[in-house]
């Protein structure tokens, strides 16, 4: 069996792909798995090599246009990159000739999906978000099966090819131990723990906001802050210049791989943007959260993701438009003054978790291959 994965070089695409790979490894006979081949096509990014370390997925890179929210003079360059990416996809898909394509959508996936359709290779697309982008909707027509992460989406995209799966989450997320997790970050029991995530690429709005209220937060909380690789040196430089006596309670990291499980386990509240993969991890861990959806153009995916979870009582939605330092500080303080609210949010969060997503998708792929 040969499976070709395709998606953007970001956590929200790579982690679900790895989760599917792990599910195959867990459920297949050893000999069948060893004889199978797995390959990833994505855009060039240093993050990819690090994420795939220790995982037997070969990787090839193609040129890709950037996903833009509005018209840009660079559109000519994007068109040129797309043409080159399409030609690269022809050679890569033809030489590998997989039994099935698993696509996470996006402009990176488009040429691979089109080429695979031309070669009559079956395509399974997974839509992580509450609403699909126009590019993803366009690709749905070429797919044999479309897996969606939100139950309501199965009704929105009325088609026999659409099925509900949830969002695949990597196995290590579920397996961490809370006390060991706290020890690994050198955390104590005198203050609650906040886990603040700005995403792999680093959401500057969240990082800047945190820096403004950091002295106030450290009076009452311990903080695990994942700021993104791009912003790590910038954030560290500013924080080191601060005259804050409680700075030992602040733990800064560029990004997490498997230690994300420890961070989730150790914390009492998650503050994060609302990417589908991140929110799925939060719900899988049954954590209360404050979600800050970042503006993403006309599709506004993150806001719709956050709205779904906030309506279910699992999270508090704070829009980027209304985001002010004192507002976030007040939201956090109010939650910890009413601990019952956090317990209710955790209960609602656990109800929204779908731990069988990887199994459901791998079974769908196996049926196609068989």
List pLDDT tens digits, range 284-307.
999 999 999 876 544 578 888 888
- pLDDT of 71 over the 70 cut: no
Determine the Cα angle at 66 with ends 65 and 67, to 5°: 120
Per DSSP, 316 falls in state: E
Instruction: Let me know whether 148 and 198 are in one domain.
Output: no
Q: What is the pLDDT of residue 331?
A: 94
CB 297 within 8 A of CB 186: no
Q: Virtual CA dihedral for 30, 58, 277, 288, nearest 10 degrees?
A: 60
Query: 290-301 in b/e burial notation, b at 16+ Cβ within 10 A?
Result: bbbbbebeebbb
Instruction: Let me know whether 71 and 204 are in one domain.
Output: no
State pLDDT tens for residues 208-248: 889 999 999 999 999 999 998 888 899 999 998 888 888 99
Element (H, E) at 125: strand 123-127
Instruction: Let me know whether 364 and 231 are in one domain.
Output: no
Q: Using the Cα atoms of residue 39, residue 302, residue 292 and residue 294 in order, give the sign of their dihedral.
A: positive
**CA–CA gap between residue 146 and residue 124 (Å, rounded):** 6
Could you tell me the pLDDT band of residue 175, with boundaries at 50, 70 and 90?
low
Instruction: Let me know whether 12 and 154 are in one domain.
Output: yes
Instruction: Let me know whether 181 and 305 are in one domain.
Output: yes
Q: What is the pLDDT of residue 86?
A: 96
Instruction: Let me know whether 151 and 187 are in one domain.
Output: no
Using a cut of 0.85, tell me whether the model's pTM lies above it.
yes
Range of 140's domain?
2-169+355-369
């Amino acid at each position: 069996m040969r499976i070709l994965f395709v998606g953007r070089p970001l956590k929200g695409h790579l982690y679900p792909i790895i989760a599917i790979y792990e599910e195959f490894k867990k459920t297949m006979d050893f000999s069948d798995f060893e004889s199978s081949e797995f390959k990833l096509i994505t855009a060039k990014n240093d993050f990819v090599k690090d994420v795939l370390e220790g995982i037997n997925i070969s990787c090839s890179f193609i040129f890709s246009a950037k996903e833009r929210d509005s018209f840009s003079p660079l559109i000519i360059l994007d068109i040129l990159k797309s043409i080159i990416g399409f030609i690269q996809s022809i050679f890569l898909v033809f030489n590998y000739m997989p039994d099935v394509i698993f696509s996470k959508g996006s402009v990176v996936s488009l040429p691979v999906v089109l080429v695979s359709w031309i070669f009559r290779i079956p395509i399974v697309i997974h839509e992580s978000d509450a609403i699909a982008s126009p590019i993803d909707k366009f690709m749905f027509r070429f797919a044999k099966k479309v897996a969606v992460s939100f139950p309501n989406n199965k009704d929105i995209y009325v088609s026999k090819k659409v099925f509900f799966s949830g969002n695949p989450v990597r196995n290590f997320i579920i397996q961490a131990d809370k006390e060991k997790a706290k020890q690994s970050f050198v955390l104590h029991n005198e203050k609650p723990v906040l886990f603040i995530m700005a995403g792999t690429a680093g959401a500057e709005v969240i990082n800047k906001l945190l820096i403004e209220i950091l002295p106030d937060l450290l009076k009452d909380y311990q903080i695990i802050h994942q700021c993104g690789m791009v912003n790590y040196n910038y954030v560290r430089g500013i924080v080191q210049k601060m005259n804050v006596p409680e700075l030992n309670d602040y733990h800064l990291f560029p990004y997490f791989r498997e230690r994300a499980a420890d961070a989730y386990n150790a914390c009492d509240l998650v503050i994060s943007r609302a990417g589908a993969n991140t929110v799925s991890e939060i719900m899988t861990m049954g954590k209360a959260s404050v979600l800050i959806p970042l503006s993403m153009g006309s599709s506004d995916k993150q806001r719709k993701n956050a709205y779904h979870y906030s309506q279910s009582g699992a999270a508090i939605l704070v829009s980027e438009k209304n985001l002010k330092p004192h507002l976030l500080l007040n939201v956090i303080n109010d939650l910890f003054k009413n601990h019952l609210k956090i317990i209710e949010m955790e209960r609602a969060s656990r109800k929204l978790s779908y731990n069988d997503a990887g199994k459901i998708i791998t079974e769908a792929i196996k049926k196609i291959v068989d």
